[in-house]
Structure formats: structure tokens, C-alpha cells
Amino acid sequence: MRFLTNVLADAGYETLQAADGAQALRVCAAEQVDLVLTDLCMPEKEGFEIMQALRTGNPMVKVIAISGAFRGLLPVAKRLGADAVLPKPIDPDTLLNAVAKALAPS
């Protein structure tokens, strides 16, 4: 998580962090969030649960789903509404390109 935060902060993005999926949803409810990066496998709430909650409560929020051990889930995340999917390990340029594309006006 620190790696992602550092890469995004160095590129000028403001970031918020959450220790688990439940906290991520609380942060999203309390703050205006444009984009969520979620690991598909996390404590408390899985990435799929976060995506579903965000799509229900704030469909304008963009979502990038990330997975390492369960890369086979990335196509499923894309079909279920992730704006982008990234396998771990994540290359900084790939991350920044995915974020820029997700946040670009459509």
C-alpha cells in the first residue's frame, strides 16, 4: 500500500488509505473520492464487495482492481465493473497510466 501511495503522491495525486475493506468503505462515505484502488483479496471486505458497494452508493467513483495471488479474478472484476485491472507486482508507469485513463473525462 505504501508503494502505491508513494507513486501516486509523487505524481501529484492526493491519496487516502484504508487498512481493510470495511475502513475503505467508511473513508469513501466520509470523503469525496474520485478513484478507488482495491485489492481483490483483503480483510473485512473483499474487493468485489467494495466494488458493489461503490457502484450502488456512488456509481461515478472509478475503480481499479488489483490482485497478485488471484490474477484469474481480474477478468471477473473487469466484467463486474472495474474501470481497470492490474496484476501484481505493479509497475509505477502502468499504475500511473491506468489512473490517468480512469480519471480522464469520458
| Full set of structural domains in the chain with CATH | 2-100 (3.40.50.2300)
pTM value is 0.93
The model's pLDDT over 11-33, given as tens digits with 9 standing for 90+, comes to 999 999 998 999 999 999 999 99
Parallel, antiparallel or unpaired: strands 84-87 and 62-67: parallel
Q: Which amino acid is at 81?
A: G
* Interval 27-81: pLDDT, tens: 999 999 999 999 998 888 889 999 999 988 888 999 999 998 777 899 999 999 9
User: What ranges in the chain are assigned the alpha helix state H?
Assistant: 2-10, 21-30, 47-57, 74-79, 92-103
